Structure 1
Amino acid sequence: MNVLILGATGFIGSALLDRLASDGHAVTGLGRNVARAQQQRPDTLWLTADLAEMRDAGDWRPLVESHDVIVNCAGALQDGLADDVAATQETAMLALYAAAKSSSIRIVQISAPRGGTGGDSAFLATKFRADDALAASGVAHVILRPTLVLGRNAHGGSALIRALAALPFAIPLVHAQSRVETVALGDVAEAVSAAVANLMPDRSDLVLGHPERPTLAELVALHRQWLGLPPARVISLPAPVAAPVGLLADLAGRFGWRSPLRSTALSVMAGGVSAGDGAHAPVPFLSARQSLSIVPSGVQDLWFARLYFLKPLMIVGLSAFWLLSGLIPLLDLDAARQHFLRFMGEGPATAVTLLTCLADIVLGIAVLVRPYAKRALVGMLALTSAYLVSATFAEPELWADPLGPLVKVLPSILLTLATLAILDER
């Protein structure tokens, strides 16, 4: 069959793409940025589109007419610079259902369990309204509701749990006793495979998850053991402690960074991840311990976990460094332009000083904005190299200065290179 996967570059979508292709289906992947996916899977047909812009049935008809099944695993946790939750999860889906009404296409919807807290959040509310609209549309469909998905290629909540598990000495947790139902990524792929092959009854609405529900503290301890780290004491923190963290993560979301610590995720976790009274798929699922044991960790998993919380600190640190290097000279412009006055007149020296300060400030701001972060980091490397080369030829004695103004730049280059190396999110 011809299968279209929405959100095919994501954590779940990429696994489904591989599974359905191995089942013998002709699979097409759709995503907002598919350049890397095309390099990884050159035999797959890729389409570039933003679901938030596909608001009319006419946008969907060519896709509906050319496919037998559409698997929707796209989503957005919270509104941000790059995300429109309502447009992506509800408006676009209603347009899809309208286009599919007169066709024989089947839709496999990857949604979320209804049993937990946070149901009034935009993330869950839009998903549930889209589910209800699909159920009432008359379109052939299956709705699958995975609980917390565990897989080797961690993302979102599973990545956060790994990062918490790798903290040294002690692990601070909010909602440490909340129960978390999990499902292995392979089990999700197995269920979708069955739904695509029409082995599930039409209009099925099923939860995917193992009935065992460890506490969040127990789940973090399992991941710590999986990473090969000794046990660490869990420090249970009161819920209000998480509020400032959620606000900072929400602010980062406005700049395009998709943190799993945003307020929506925290409100969902407050009541745990549970299917409630939802009907579970009648197949055996792996427990959390089994899900981890089938993919033993390697040193790269430990690196990822340890760098997870360091990454935002590295970005903020670089931003502060460049902003201060651009702003401080403006406090005493005459002293700052002395280096240039040795080689040019007052007017040009002042202009060059102001331009370099402006360049530093622009880079310090740009690195905080996710779509511009990579270019900002490359710009930092280029400008730092230009500063070092110019200073080496113009004032080589600065290398021997007791305060080390040039030597101290070298660690910033290494920090920039390290940040650039771990910038990608998926």
Structure 2
Amino acid sequence: MSERTILVLGASGLIGRFVTDDLRARGFRVVGLARSLLPAQRMSPLDIELPILSLDAAALARLLREREADVVVNCLGVLQDGPGSDTGAVHRDFVTRLLAAIGESGRAIRLVHISIPGTAEADRTAFATTKREAERLIAASGISHAVLRPGFVVVPSAYGGSAMLRALAAFPLDLPAKEMATPFQPVAVEDISATIAWLATRDIGDAAVTAMSWDLMQAEPVTMAAVIGQFRRAFGTSGWLRIAVPAFMLDLGAKIGDLANALGWMPPMRSTAIAELRRGVTGNPAAWIAATGITPKTLVETIGRHPATVQDKWFARLFLIKALIFASLVAFWLVSGCIALFVSYRAAAGILTAHNFPPALVDPITIGTSLMDMSIGVLIAVRRTAAIGLAAGIMASLGYMVGAAILTPDLWIEPLGALVKTGPAIVLMLVALLMLDNR
């Protein structure tokens, strides 16, 4: 059992969560910190929620002393600017305060920083440039550090780009030929954790590991087509005929993803993701392998160890459909409200009049229900209020059904079956409510 304490920042993320749990299994005392943790992620009393990004250098230094940190692993990162996400604040400004805090803490601490592979000359996005700025700050700090630059990280769970590749593997779709040929060197998340464990056992004064920068990835170059192909073998879909998505569709999807990002969602297909995908994931892991003795797992070893389970297949098939479900529900509520209020107002009001509603109530009810429908659509469209909107949509739909059964029962046998179709709409909203989780 190691006596050293490892502090993992970003313990709710794809890499951070796995690293936290794996290092504990290796015998380290690991404190996992995150801005927010799902109930299922609170696996230990050492999993702690803190507004990490809002802490100043003095508060961070106090945290390091109180938690007796020997190694700090910074897994914090955001792909693209948006509501609640600021690449500069997370990648550059926070690292500046963290470096100051390590210096002020009075403790001998090694910083392990998770960055990205590639060169500064190829950086084109705010994500990449701010990541690189953080690397320069760390290199100039004089603090014992290791900058780890993992390739495409393969994790048992799925999120972001990893989820997108699984979805492509589950459908008869290919990216454009140019993107499929992009170099895409993978790394198993277990190898990242093993590297951190190796660093954590080294003495802080060991000059050989005082200032390291390593690419972590499979040594043999592969392409995105090979990565997706390996997922397809696991899903049993490798023999399917496939259709290549035109490049303009990929760019259009990125623009739609940027719009969703502005509403608080974090779709994997955004302009930054596509730009980074087209750049590729390459590096030279020779220095890492030589220093640590770790033999990186190959793509086949990482993905091909077990066939996909039914939950893997369900997730992959539903991942792309999730966006369609939410978009259709937003359109359903917004369009239905707009039609009743602006296009067919007289017809909508006439339904109430024909059923002997008091004339004084016809206009208020027609306007009120139309505005309610549009409000539900807006609530569902915004990530922060989506759950409220879906719950409100279910309640409103049930209210329409019950109200019609009491006041206008003949609408239940109306030829187009508008009320009968409300039932499946409720089920779809329930499905959307159950699919809200990202992690």
Q: TM-score range by the shorter chain?
A: over 0.9
Are residues 1:350 and 2:363 paired?
yes
Structure 2 counterpart of 1:313, from 306, 324, 340: 324
Are residues 1:155 and 2:159 paired?
yes
Residue in structure 1 matched with residue 11 of structure 2 by the alignment: 8
Comparing 29-38 with 1-10, greater Cα deviation is found at 29-38
Structure 1 counterpart of 2:346, from 306, 317, 334: 334
1:31 corresponds to which letter in structure 2? A
1:35-88 per-residue CA deviation (whole Å, 9 max, x = no partner) reads 4245x514433123152x34x312312222222221111100000123111101
Residue in structure 1 matched with residue 174 of structure 2 by the alignment: 171
Residue in structure 2 matched with residue 286 of structure 1 by the alignment: 297
Cα deviation for residue 157 of structure 1 reads 1.6
Alpha carbons of 1:308 and 1:64: their partners in 2 closer, same or farther (altered >3 Å)?
same
- For the residues of structure 1 that align with 2:191 and 2:165, how far apart are their CA atoms? 20
1:248-267 equivalences under 5 Å are 248-267=256-275
Alpha carbons of 1:24 and 1:87: their partners in 2 closer, same or farther (altered >3 Å)?
same
2:380 corresponds to which letter in structure 1? V
Contact persistence 1:108–1:196 (CA under 8 A)? no
1:380-391 equivalences under 5 Å are 380-391=393-404
1:18-417 equivalences under 5 Å are 18-38=21-41, 40-51=42-53, 53-54=54-55, 56-66=56-66, 67-102=69-104, 103=106, 104-115=108-119, 119-168=123-172, 170-173=173-176, 175-198=179-202, 201-233=209-241, 235=243, 239-275=247-283, 279-282=287-290, 283-330=294-341, 331-341=343-353, 342=355, 344-417=357-430
Where 1:309 maps in the other structure, the secondary structure is helix
Cα deviation for residue 278 of structure 1 reads 7.7
- For the residues of structure 2 that align with 1:125 and 1:32, how far apart are their CA atoms? 24
Cα deviation for residue 410 of structure 1 reads 1.2
- For the residues of structure 2 that align with 1:237 and 1:334, how far apart are their CA atoms? 44
1:275-310 per-residue CA deviation (whole Å, 9 max, x = no partner) reads 158843332011111101234310111111111111
- For the residues of structure 1 that align with 2:383 and 2:257, how far apart are their CA atoms? 13
Alpha carbons of 1:184 and 1:399: their partners in 2 closer, same or farther (altered >3 Å)?
same
TM-score for the superposition, normalised by structure 1: 0.93
* Ranges in structure 2 where 5+ consecutive residues have no aligned partner: none
Comparing 236-245 with 416-425, greater Cα deviation is found at 236-245
1:398 corresponds to which letter in structure 2? L
Alpha carbons of 1:238 and 1:116: their partners in 2 closer, same or farther (altered >3 Å)?
farther
More helix, by proportion: 2
Contact persistence 1:116–1:268 (CA under 8 A)? no
- For the residues of structure 1 that align with 2:25 and 2:432, how far apart are their CA atoms? 36
Comparing 272-281 with 392-401, greater Cα deviation is found at 272-281
- For the residues of structure 1 that align with 2:218 and 2:277, how far apart are their CA atoms? 18
- For the residues of structure 1 that align with 2:426 and 2:394, how far apart are their CA atoms? 6
- For the residues of structure 2 that align with 1:291 and 1:279, how far apart are their CA atoms? 21
1:77-111 per-residue CA deviation (whole Å, 9 max, x = no partner) reads 00012311110111011011111113322211111
1:94 corresponds to which letter in structure 2? T
Contact persistence 1:70–1:105 (CA under 8 A)? yes
| Identity across matched positions, percent | 34
Cα deviation for residue 159 of structure 1 reads 1.1
Cα deviation for residue 255 of structure 1 reads 1.1
Cα deviation for residue 340 of structure 1 reads 3.7
Residue in structure 1 matched with residue 20 of structure 2 by the alignment: 17
Cα deviation for residue 142 of structure 1 reads 1.4
- For the residues of structure 2 that align with 1:240 and 1:197, how far apart are their CA atoms? 49
TM-score for the superposition, normalised by structure 2: 0.90
- For the residues of structure 1 that align with 2:114 and 2:306, how far apart are their CA atoms? 24
Contact persistence 1:143–1:206 (CA under 8 A)? yes
Cα deviation for residue 363 of structure 1 reads 1.1
Contact persistence 1:116–1:276 (CA under 8 A)? no
Alpha carbons of 1:90 and 1:371: their partners in 2 closer, same or farther (altered >3 Å)?
same
Cα deviation for residue 319 of structure 1 reads 0.5
Cα deviation for residue 317 of structure 1 reads 0.3
Contact persistence 1:207–1:281 (CA under 8 A)? no
- For the residues of structure 2 that align with 1:293 and 1:320, how far apart are their CA atoms? 40
1:355 corresponds to which letter in structure 2? G
Alpha carbons of 1:182 and 1:389: their partners in 2 closer, same or farther (altered >3 Å)?
same
Contact persistence 2:217–2:285 (CA under 8 A)? no
CA RMSD of aligned residues (A): 2.1
Comparing 376-385 with 42-51, greater Cα deviation is found at 42-51
